Structure 1
Amino acid sequence: MSRPHHVIVGAGQSGANAAFAMRRAGFEGAITIVGAENHFPYERPPLSKDVLTGQDSPKPPLFFSEARYDEKNIAIKLGQRVTAIDAASARLKTEEGASIPYDRLLIATGGRPRPLDFPGSESVVQLRDVDDAARLRASLKKGLRVACVGAGPIGLEVATAARALGCDVTVLEKSASIMGRCLPAEAAGWLRRRHDAQGIKIITGFSLVAFEAGQVVEASGDRIAADLVVAGTGMVPNIELGASAGAKLDRGIMVDTFGETSSPGIYAAGDVATFWHPLHASHLSWETWRHAMNHGIAVGKSMAGRREPYVEFPYFWTDQAGVRVQVVGAAAGSSSVRRGSESEDRFSIWYLDEENVVKGVVAVDAPREIKIAERLIQSGRPIDPMRIADLAFELRDLLR
């Protein structure tokens, strides 16, 4: 009797972690990862940070060394793009004409940069993989006029890197605020002032209509000089394979709390999936580093037979303007309490509900406070807000 074969489409964070989670869960069958890129699975956050400012060739760290795949008997096929899933015969089809059978399948194809639709957009740089980062890094020279379209994490991280390399940087944002999907207004306002102080010009309410002859054109007719335009306007999940397999779709590939799609034996994890969260009683989609890793691990365990509900809560971080901003939980509530001083560039804002239970925290260069906040959110215990504001009080005592 042949061993069961689990195939993972997508050699990224979710796919790699799912494969190793299967082995840790005791799965002894064959595992194959199929990836479109020619690189072993690597960390993506450095692409908009250290890779752009480093002196050496851009080589973001791998999740697992190449030797570990051999040690765990995990086959990995790089540079092969899967074009369709035949769910009836349980086989994959690749662009190269190969047909790969599977017993269980994980779709971990992540997403791609949101397409741009304006004249001149073919000249705009978009950052998704290490090859994009290498090309951008080679372009960023002192004195270059750089326009970053989008004031989300990627746009502002690239702006920070470009400014550190001596570029003249302008950030163009369509909405009225920076980091609008990630930060509450008070934290976003502080971060914008910090970028301003470092010489990064930010223009909000900017509706881009064209990029032509070294200029970014706004709907009003205003023009911003730019030698290079970089777009950080979000991503679109790569749901096409899920659609070819007949899986239900809603923003992403819909999965249950164990990561299984509506097509039996086919799973999805990470950025490409909208997952059922039992605590929220709804399908959610998160585009964060930790979710991509933890969801991949959880779904890998489920595929190996250790089915446990996925009940994480949101967390993300961004390094920009010389600080690390971390957000855990829901940065909204009935009240908020500030700990520390903005003037010292180290503070946190705590969000509580009507019963003074911590629901979320935004922290600037305060990693210990984030760790404590996570445990308080998990506990669901009410706390005394006055103690959070008191810098003389040791926050760890709230855990007792």
Structure 2
Amino acid sequence: MTTYVIIGGGLAGAKAAQTLREEGFDGEVVVIAAEAERPYERPPLSKDYLRGKSEKSGIYVHEPSWYDDNRVDLRLDVVATEIERAAREVRLSDGTRQPYDKLLIATGATPRPLPVAGAERALYLRTAADSEALKEAFAAGGEVVIAGAGWIGLETAAAAAEAGCSVTVVESAPAPLVHALGPELGEVFAGVHRGHGVRLRTGEEIAEVRRGSVLLRGGEELAADHVIAGIGAAPNDRIARAAGLEVADGVLVDQSLRSSDPDVFAAGDVANAFNPLYGRRIRVEHWANALNGGPAAARAMLGREVVYDRVPYFYTDQFELGMEFSGDVAGHDEVVYRGSVADLEFIAFWLHAGRVVAGMNVNVWDVAGDVQKLIRAGTPVDVKRLTDPSVPLSDL
């Protein structure tokens, strides 16, 4: 019997397994999941589940019975330790070997550890258990210090502040989200957080995590009952590298998510994929990439013609600010706005040579599709009409 093996029990892996069955694959499907939990979605871990606004039952991709009902062999709490490409087998932590005909690597990413003394005292956010530990810490109250003002850092800061904690965010860049959005839009998020009492210490770094405090590189000591590290994530590509696959900041895959081995594919956070829309490789660490990349890889494994060229997409909710982001700001030369930035009801557009390369709608809804169409069009736009709220985006 033909066997397709998926290494990784997250959203990408689970949706790939689902797609294999929906597309009529009748062979054996094996999912190797390192966690003891069945596959779940990660956005709630830093959003509603962390904030106590949703139940844990809502995070899972499928009901428990789905795997047996669809003949998916889900192996929980088992780690894939080695890919033996010549033998077409995966060696597992339980001492067994799993043969494969096609293999999907969907191993995700791991939070980067704080590179300072005392880092073992810090909390991280990646798993459901991590989210539950943070929720317990926030319920205890006290001083919370967060290293990093990226998406995870700011979302956990909002959750901690809403829980009644005193929150300080330490960020080495001059503003939050500089690498993702640039300084202008980063300051918008900074204003929202400051308005809710969050202290932002930009241009600073933590030098040491101590019991009950953190030491900044400048010598100042901050009280800290809980320290959270949110300084980015690294792709879990070790197993691919050890197997001799081409790896550079993730598993290198083509537009069909196929690796340098024609029988091995990669999807989700770990995949550094060539995106023909942008004409270059992009590694995307967001929910939508796992949601769509897993099914795309599954179809490619089945021999379907696949061109994975989706516009990168991300969303967040922080205090009264809800937003959707589409695109990639790399190489932009101008940012323009439609609506009121002061009132937090606007759309920001990043342009390169007059073309929209990214867009972010803040508290303006049902426009993400039109924003993505503008990005896909790749043609110069009339900036006056683009920034005029009376002109429907669909007309552009």
What TM bracket, shorter-length normalisation?
Answer: over 0.9
Q: How much has 1:57 moved relative to structure 2? A: 5.9
The 5-angstrom pairing of residues 111-190 of structure 1 reads 111-141=109-139, 143-190=141-188
Question: Structure 1 pair 9/121, CA: closer, same or farther in 2 (3 Å)?
Answer: same
CA distance in 2, matches of 1:337, 1:281: 24
Q: Is the 8 A contact 1:52 1:58 kept in 2?
A: no
Q: Secondary structure at the match of 1:51?
A: coil
Aligned partners of 1:60 and 1:130 also within 8 Å: no
Moved more, 323-332 or 218-227: 323-332
Partners of 1:111 and 1:190 lie apart in 2 by 28
Aligned to 1:228: 226
Query: What is the aligned partner in structure 2 of residue 336 from structure 1?
Result: 335
Quick check: 1:363–1:369 contact (8 Å CA) kept in 2? yes
1:282 deviates by: 2.9
- SS of the residue aligned with 1:148? strand
- TM-score by structure 2 length? 0.95
Q: Cα distance 1:335–1:151, how it changes in 2: closer, same or farther (>3 A)?
A: closer
Aligned to 2:246: 248
Q: Is contact 1:149–1:232 with CA below 8 Å preserved after alignment?
A: yes
Q: Distance in 1 between matches of 2:122 and 2:236?
A: 21
* 1:53 match: 51
**Does the 8 Å contact 1:174/1:205 carry over to 2?**
yes
Q: Is 1:195 aligned to residue 221 of structure 2? A: no
Which one-letter code corresponds to 2:350 in the other structure?
Answer: Y
Q: Which residue of structure 2 lines up, in the alignment, with residue 105 of structure 1?
A: 103
Is contact 1:58-1:134 (8 Å) kept? no
The residue number in structure 2 matching 1:281 is 279
| Distance change >3 Å, CA 391–CA 279, structure 1 → 2 | closer
CA RMSD of aligned residues (A): 1.8
Instruction: Kindly report which structure 2 residues correspond to 1:264-279, keeping only aligned pairs within 5 A, or say none.
Output: 264-279=262-277
Instruction: Report the residue type matching 1:352 in the other structure.
Output: L
Q: Which amino acid aligns with 1:350?
A: F
> Does structure 2 conserve the Cα–Cα contact (< 8 Å) formed by 1:323 and 1:365?
yes
1:340-355 correspondence runs (5 A): 340-354=339-353
1:266-301 superposed Cα distances (whole Å, 9 cap, x missing partner) = 111111121122343332211111112211111110
- For 1:56-67, what aligned pairs fall within 5 Å after superposition? 58-67=56-65
C-alpha spacing 1:8/1:143, structure 2 compared with 1 (3 Å): closer
Specify the alignment match of 1:308 in structure 2.
306
Report Cα offsets for 1:100-124 as digits up to 9, x if no partner: 1111111110011112221111110
Q: Deviations over 1:113-155 (max 9, x none)?
A: 1122211111100111001111111121364100011000001
Of residues 151-160 and 53-62 in structure 1, the stretch that sits farther from structure 2 once superposed is 53-62
Shift in CA distance, 58/140, structure 1 to aligned 2, threshold 3 Å: farther
State which of 78, 81, 86 in structure 2 corresponds to 1:80.
78
Give the Cα–Cα distance (whole angstroms) in 2 for the partners of residues 324 and 212 of structure 1: 35
Task: Find 1:18's aligned residue among 16, 19, 30.
Answer: 16
1:383 matches 2:381: yes
In structure 2, C-alpha distance between the alignment counterparts of 1:119 and 1:334, rounded to whole Å: 40
> 1:310, 1:228 → 2: CA distance?
41
Query: 1:358 deviation in Å?
Result: 2.4
In the alignment, the residues of structure 2 paired with residue 346 and residue 363 of structure 1 have an alpha-carbon distance, to the nearest angstrom, of 8
Unaligned runs of 5+ in 2: none
**2:235–2:249 CA contact under 8 A, matched in 1:** yes
Question: What is the distance in 2 between the residues matched to 1:102 and 1:7?
Answer: 6
Moved more, 220-229 or 314-323: 314-323
Q: Could you tell me how far 1:185 is from its partner in structure 2? A: 1.9
TM-score normalized by structure 1? 0.94
Kept in 2, the 8 Å contact 1:31–1:74? The answer is yes
State the alpha-carbon separation in 2 of the partners of residues 216 and 339 from structure 1. 41
State the SS of the aligned residue for 2:180: coil
Deviation at 1:227, TM superposition (A): 0.6
